[in-house]
Amino acid sequence: MNDSALAVELKGIWKRFPGVIANSDINLSIAPGTVHAIVGENGAGKSTLMKILYGMQKPDEGTIAINGEFKEFESPSDAIDAGIGMVHQHFMLADNFTVLENIILGSEPRKGAKLDFDTARNQINSIAAENGLAVDADALVADLGVGDRQRIEILKVLYRGARILILDEPTAVLVPHEVDELFNTLRDLKREGITIMFISHKLDEVLAIADEITVIRQGTTVGSVDTKKQNISALELAEMMVGSELPTPETRGNTIREEVVLDVTNLSVHAAGGKAIVDDISFSIRSGEILGIAGVEGNGQAEILDALMGLVENTGVVHFKGEDISNQSTRSRRELGIGFIPEDRHRQALMLEAPLWENRMLGHQTMAPNSKGFLLNISGAKEDTQRIVREYDVRTPSIDVLASALSGGNQQKLIVGREMSGSPRLLIAAHPTRGVDVGAQAAIWDHLRNAREAGLAVLLISADLDELIGLSDTIKVLLRGQFVADANPATVTPQELGTAMTGAGKVSA
């Protein structure tokens, strides 16, 4: 190995799938001991590139050199042997195992037929100490938070001898102060000479941590920026990513009317053990108003939505258009005019192995144009699916393809189009643009804004604070099931909101 060699060098990488060129002429040079960010829109080819580097896919053309040596990876284990480790976006940990057990899982040190826990513990403690990764090796993973779990994932790959780490969207699941901790960890790792590839589309974070940034657009590398030598703003970076000017989520003007569409009083949801997850909250939304709820995931947002849709046991009174719907079923709430964009697209909003037009009916199967009496109206549903595809720009060759064949963004457009059909009076939307590319995001925002002007009331939950601030007329901050602050979207910054979400500070109303 040559000390001055690049840690990773990719030259002329091409990867074609039938009908799609995922990567075309990717060139990437990463110096050892640096944090190198790869940014790009969803579908730009980042994940294909990662899979190639991690041995999960073979490139059609091009060369991979690790520490100056040419490599051909047949499988991830070849990549691991070459010192590459991957920290996935979704953690792969066994909840009922301890930290130690999780880390050694799959490469357990043995003493005869027995597992050698002592050696493993010493080894892990020394790796943790060297890299500033504080973890309790004997804690049960089930008891740990997201930040700790991520540290375990990092330890796991270091334990396997990785010197080059690939972090796939590592901050997606973290709250702001956990992001800071992660960045400290990454700086410590860098000091130990470890090379880090940081994949993200959160540009301010990328600018905060990366030594060098490579932008990927439409499958190819469009440029690299050395952040020490060049001053580049998040906006410039974003425009490199998109190749054009960016849309903003801003709503203009006040469209709030007198009529209260949703009125919630003393709503509580209790967990199986009796703990209140949503703790006695009250709020109301008027016609033409978007109410945003800010909060770190897991503070009761999901339960509020489920309670409003009648999907979980709850106490309290919910009035919709003046009518008490507290005891109504989910179906009758939908029939009364509540649209629902749930948090988990795949589990809650789609039948992945059914055609688009059948998905169009889901949740609306009792209503026109999908059914007449007890019979389905298939031609009506198909026609209306065509309309949604047209109006919401769902990219699909036909409405007969399976929902799983569409990209995440197009699936989401179909869902938004469906939930906005039949002119609902209230839309309950969780992360309406999560995983959606910039163009589609702008389109969804437009639809929300237009519906708001037409008098739609919206309850919005979003982890994207810019979106929340840009779209909402009113913002409430949720912490441990209670509203702890109100924020004025006209003046609040994402930073202030982020701090309020962790309970650390107050924001002015």
Partner 1 sequence: MNLRRLGTSLIAPLLGVGISIAVTSVILIAIHAQPLAVFSSMIKYGASAHAMTLILNLATTYFLSALAVAIGFKMNLFNIGVNGQYTLGAMVGGAVAGSLHLPTILSVPITIAVAMIVGAGWAGIAAWLKVARGVSEVISTIMLNFIATAIISYTIVRTSVGHETSLNVRGTAMIPESGMLRGIPLLDPKTEIYGFFFISIAIGILYWFVLNRTRFGYDLRATGHSATAARTSGIDAKRMTVITMLISGALAGLVGLPYLLGDAGSYNLNFPTDWGFTGIAIALLGRNNPIGIAVGALLWAFLDVASGQLILEGVPREITTIMQGVIVIVVVMSYEIVRRNQVKSEQKNVARALEKQEVSA
Can you give the binding site for partner 1, defined by CB under 8 A?
A: 17-20, 309, 311, 329-334, 340, 342, 344, 347-354, 358, 361-366, 371, 374-376, 378, 395-398, 400-402, 404-406
Which residues pair with residue 286 across a beta bridge? 260
140 backbone dihedrals φ, ψ, rounded to 5°: -80, 130
The phi-psi region of residue 142 (left if phi > 0; otherwise alpha if psi is between -120 and 50; otherwise beta) is alpha
Distance of alpha carbon 414 from alpha carbon 250, whole angstroms: 23
Q: Which is nearer to partner 1, 265 or 371 (CB)?
A: 371
Q: Which is nearer to partner 1, 204 or 344 (CB)?
A: 344
Smallest CA-to-CA distance from 141 within 85, 92, 89 is with 92
Burial of 163 (0-12, 13-18, 19+ CB in 10 A): buried
Q: Which is nearer to partner 1, 18 or 106 (CB)?
A: 18
Q: Helix axis angle, 117-131 relative to 176-191, nearest 10°?
A: 100
In whole angstroms, the minimum distance from the beta carbon of 402 to partner 1 comes to 5
In whole angstroms, the minimum distance from the beta carbon of 463 to partner 1 comes to 20
In whole angstroms, the minimum distance from the beta carbon of 417 to partner 1 comes to 15
Which CA distances in Å does 17 have to 64, 79, 106, 255, 437?
A: 19, 22, 32, 47, 21
Write 126-134 long-range contacts (CB < 8 A, 24+).
Answer: 127/155, 127/158, 127/159, 128/155, 130/192, 131/158, 131/185, 131/188, 131/189, 131/192, 131/194, 132/184, 132/185, 132/188, 133/158, 133/185, 133/188
Helix (H) or strand (E) holding 494: helix 494-501
Tokens of 486: 């109100």
- Contact assessment for residue 327 and residue 494, using Cβ atoms and an 8 Å cutoff: no
In whole angstroms, the minimum distance from the beta carbon of 302 to partner 1 comes to 12
Tokens of 244: 């054009």
Q: Which is nearer to partner 1, 249 or 363 (CB)?
A: 363
Q: Which is nearer to partner 1, 7 or 399 (CB)?
A: 399
Q: Which is nearer to partner 1, 43 or 503 (CB)?
A: 43
Q: Which is nearer to partner 1, 390 or 395 (CB)?
A: 395
- Contact assessment for residue 176 and residue 499, using Cβ atoms and an 8 Å cutoff: yes
In whole angstroms, the minimum distance from the beta carbon of 316 to partner 1 comes to 20
Tokens of 121: 């513990």
In whole angstroms, the minimum distance from the beta carbon of 374 to partner 1 comes to 5
In whole angstroms, the minimum distance from the beta carbon of 200 to partner 1 comes to 25
Helix (H) or strand (E) holding 104: helix 99-104
Pairing of strands 35-39, 195-200: parallel
In whole angstroms, the minimum distance from the beta carbon of 351 to partner 1 comes to 4
Q: Which is nearer to partner 1, 96 or 332 (CB)?
A: 332
Sheet with 457-461: strands ordered across: 338-341, 426-430, 457-461, 290-294, 474-479, 482-487
In whole angstroms, the minimum distance from the beta carbon of 146 to partner 1 comes to 22
Tokens of 440: 């589609």
In whole angstroms, the minimum distance from the beta carbon of 315 to partner 1 comes to 21
Q: Which is nearer to partner 1, 104 or 406 (CB)?
A: 406
Q: Which is nearer to partner 1, 131 or 410 (CB)?
A: 410
